[in-house]
Amino acid sequence: MEFKEVAVLAAREAGKKILEISEKGFTSRMKGIPHDMITDADTKAEKIIIDMIRKHFPGHSILSEEMGKDSKDSEYMWVIDPLDGTINFSKGIDEYCVSIALQHRRKIILGVIYRPVSNELYTAEMERGSFLNGSRLKASEENELSRIILSADSSNNIETRKKNFEFVLKVCDKVRTIRQFGSAALNMARVASGKSDAYFLHSFNYWDFAAGKLLVEEAGGKVTDFGGNPITEKSKSIVATNGKIHDKILGILNEKKTI
């Protein structure tokens, strides 16, 4: 099986398990970080994905939210968030998804985001475009800040949460509106599909954004950190836009004067 075929199958099977657990009821516990939680949907979906990857590509490295990093002597690494939007899931809010990416020599070459509730399958391959259920995606053409929809997320870390809201204050009077949905991967998918024009977050986990990064870029958008640098596994911030307003957003986020 090819990379994309395995990733799509794994995402769909994991999504099926998540829906099953949602209907039957789930168990949960708090993580080491205050306000953060994990459910059995996270762990069971992760096992499905990892087992499938190991079956077809046993020599590949894997970085996954719950398992951590399993390093192999390989140029390939799978980056997995088995359930992005766990808190939404736990409250019956249908804003959650499965996110799977594959990078080769530190370049992301494949991204898959699956929203099981609505059967939305987002896929992207390097230099082959981004798609939603087979239809090509294109980022928006909006170039005026006053007309954009900007998405921003909170954080389980209180200091990071405060920092994010400081950045929201910087941009709140310059954009049309701000949305906070609670799933980083789906926020990135919205930018790629033109439903949102920009998204940013201070401090993040690589598995939240790896698939979405490629999705946005292959749809004609742009993704960097707050300093305008390419996103890597060690990046500490992220800005994803349609590309038309990227420099404007960076300029505001990096203003020394706070509001």
- pLDDT 10s digits, 186-232: 999 999 999 999 999 887 789 989 999 999 999 999 999 999 999 99
Considering only CA atoms, which of 137, 59, 63 is closest in space to residue 103? 63
Domain spans of the chain?
3-136, 145-253
Q: What number of residues does the chain have?
A: 259
Q: Is 64 left (phi over 0), alpha (psi -120 to 50) or beta?
A: beta
Axis-axis angle for helices 3-24, 40-56 (nearest 10): 160
Confidence band, pLDDT 50/70/90 cuts, at residue 35: low
CA 4 to centroid of chain Cα atoms: 17
Q: Which fold, 3-136?
A: Fructose-1,6-Bisphosphatase; Chain A, domain 1 (3.30.540)
User: What pLDDT digit, counting tens, does each position of 126-147 carry?
Assistant: 999 999 999 999 999 999 999 9
> What confidence score (pLDDT) does residue 257 get?
52
Beta carbons within 10 angstroms of residue 130's beta carbon: 27
Domain 145-253 in this protein, CATH class: alpha beta
